């Protein structure tokens, strides 16, 4: 017996009250509950709907939905990073390697416009700080996107962007002295790091918007 719209609405309200705020995760749990409830209703149409929901909930274990939600978060995060690095690898193969090489020589050209390469890399650092700040602001402003775990930037994007600057790029300046900035090879190595970080950020955004596109196709009636 298929659940009515009213019963599905009750089920959704129950899951929300249990802390399942993500629409995509909630939809998955609703499908699970609906299958079991429909089987029970086929046998007994007079059963207590709410009590049956609670019984099925208990099947998730002592932590309720907590463990399930953590597993989903981990799964989504792993998938996101896997797709990101898969996309990143394409920039080191033909034909996209042309973009990577172009970025490298573009930065070399810009660096040569400066009398002191140290000033050039300082400006690069300022650019990345701006990138981190704007991304943090966008994360906070995109409240509607938090309805979907797969689009929850703060879960798997902001801290990645934040970390790859403060753990990789920013510390480089503490290991370089004036003599190092006069060394062409050292400068080229740092430019390669900058190019890789920019391409990584581009891939993060690309995968995010691909996920957003899939969500729009899968849930056409929901504002994303």
Give pLDDT, residue 116: 94
Give pLDDT, residue 144: 54
Contact between residue 64 and residue 73 where contact means Cβ atoms under 8 Å apart? no
Give pLDDT, residue 111: 97
Q: For residue 173, give Cα distances in angstroms to 6, 48, 114, 176.
A: 61, 66, 17, 5
Predicted TM-score (pTM) of this structure:
0.86
Contact between residue 61 and residue 67 where contact means Cβ atoms under 8 Å apart? yes
CA distance 181 to 125: 15
Give pLDDT, residue 145: 47
For residue 75, report the phi and psi dihedrals to the nearest 5 degrees: -65, -45
CA distance 14 to 4: 15
Q: Mean pLDDT of successive 10-residue segments in the chain (224 residues)? A: 88 91 92 92 88 91 87 92 96 97 98 96 92 78 69 77 84 92 96 95 92 89 75
For residue 219, report the phi and psi dihedrals to the nearest 5 degrees: -125, 70
Q: What counts of helices (H) and strands (E) characterise the chain?
A: 11, 0
């Amino acid at each position: 017996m298929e659940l009515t719209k009213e019963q599905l609405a009750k089920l959704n309200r129950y899951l929300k009250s249990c802390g399942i705020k993500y629409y995509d995760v909630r939809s998955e749990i609703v499908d699970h509950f609906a299958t079991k409830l429909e089987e029970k209703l086929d046998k007994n149409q007079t059963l207590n709907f709410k009590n049956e929901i609670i019984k099925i909930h208990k099947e998730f274990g002592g932590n309720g939905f907590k463990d399930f939600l953590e597993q989903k978060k981990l799964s989504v995060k792993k998938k996101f990073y896997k797709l990101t690095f898969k996309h990143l690898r394409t920039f080191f193969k033909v034909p996209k390697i042309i973009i990577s090489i172009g970025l490298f020589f573009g930065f070399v050209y810009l660096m040569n416009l400066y009398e002191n390469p140290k000033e050039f890399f300082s400006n690069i650092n300022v650019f990345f700080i701006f990138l981190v700040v704007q991304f943090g602001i966008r994360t906070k402003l995109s409240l509607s996107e938090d309805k979907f775990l797969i689009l929850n930037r703060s879960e798997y994007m902001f801290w990645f962007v934040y970390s790859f600057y403060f753990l990789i790029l920013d510390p480089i300046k503490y290991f370089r002295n004036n003599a190092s900035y006069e060394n062409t090879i050292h400068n080229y190595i740092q430019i390669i790091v900058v190019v890789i970080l920019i391409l990584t950020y581009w891939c993060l955004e690309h995968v995010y918007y691909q996920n957003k596109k899939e969500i729009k196709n899968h849930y056409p009636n929901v504002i994303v």
